Structure 1
């Protein structure tokens, strides 16, 4: 049973069957998929130095575009006898550069949240709240966040946080997974957004 099944409990069964299969994630048997992001938007121009720096940690990036080829790989693995982790590898293939948006996820069973460490090595931490919509989609929203500097984690005030909204679904007609991600800050506006679709591929 993966961290997502543990977190959602009975609600996991309300996900679209294809999403249940996607998030079942047997240990060391990755879910791999490819597709296109119909729209990728970075933050405002003055954020460019920060976004460019973030690319060195496989975090945010400054590029934008349409119909950007995309791959995703999720691997469930055991960190210890009692702790499982899902390693996220998201890759965007722009015309002249390849960018990454990687993460490491575990769960906090007591607080009922996913613990999301973004970047490789991790630069940013966020609580994630997972919910299933009436349509069987997976909805994800952010909560408490911290800046990660080595082993030090510094709490980020609410007005400086990146507000994350994600919705993932499945289109039965076209037989594709759909994804919409929006990350914004209440002061500077959009930090990154992308939306598109992808299909599972063989490993």
Structure 2
């Protein structure tokens, strides 16, 4: 079975650093990938605080900021009920109080890309697109929806997020590095982080996934 990220990246997959391919090429038969490290920066815009506080109810965004914050990211691959590749990610930031940022990515065969369900219940949904830059992985957010059961309501452009995440392997440090930035046409910078982490593999039982059985947005891009 081709991994979710390998399918999305396509022929450029071989251009990724081998450490990136190993970590993000995990399939449903693999162990769970656990990244542990520290965020050198967590930032936010005070104008976005109401949205960030709301995000804490769904394990999406949060209002805390700071430097040198320990974090962990758990990545677990599985096959959804339609037989498509999927990946669940759970991030934990040791802020005060600790915060979570969870999402589930699933291959969307009709839209020919990854569709991401954000938060504990997957109420916020977005297409994401992957590319390769200097051996690192670049993830950009695309069209976005709010999910009501099996219905998907498009998010108007002024309210939509522009997000980019870069993940690469630092040969000199022998560690993974990550940087993410979320912006909005009205508010500007909303939320972001930069950090470094190590990766290990663990044998753990499968996680119960609340959006495992949900439908996917349809239609060509």
TM-score interval, smaller chain: over 0.9
Gaps of 5+ in 1: none
1:183 aligned residue: 182
Gaps of 5+ in 2: 203-221
Cα distance in 2 between the residues matched to 1:150 and 1:52: 23
Cα distance in 2 between the residues matched to 1:178 and 1:91: 16
TM-score (norm 1): 0.92
| Structure 1 moving runs of 4+ over 4 Å | none
Q: CA deviation at 1:141?
A: 1.1
Moved more, 49-58 or 98-107: 49-58
* 1:104 is the counterpart of 2:98: no
Cα distance in 2 between the residues matched to 1:155 and 1:137: 30
1:15 aligned residue: 16
Q: CA deviation at 1:110?
A: 4.7
Cα distance in 2 between the residues matched to 1:129 and 1:24: 16
Please show how residues 140-155 of structure 1 align to structure 2 within 5 Å: 140-155=139-154
1:37 aligned residue: 39
How many residues of Structure 1 are paired with residues of Structure 2 in the alignment?
A: 200
* 1:128 is the counterpart of 2:156: no
Partner SS, residue 81 of structure 2: coil
TM-superposition CA deviations, 1:21-72 (whole Å, max 9, x none): 001113152111100110001232x432332121111111011110110100
TM-score (norm 2): 0.85
Cα distance in 2 between the residues matched to 1:81 and 1:143: 23
TM-superposition CA deviations, 1:77-117 (whole Å, max 9, x none): 112252221001011101x2111110010122453321011
1:83 aligned residue: 84
Give yes or no for contact 1:7–1:109 (8 Å, CA) kept in 2: no
Cα distance in 1 between the residues matched to 2:153 and 2:21: 35
Cα distance in 1 between the residues matched to 2:120 and 2:126: 15
Give 1 or 2: higher strand fraction: 1
Give yes or no for contact 2:8–2:129 (8 Å, CA) kept in 1: no
Partner SS, residue 67 of structure 2: strand
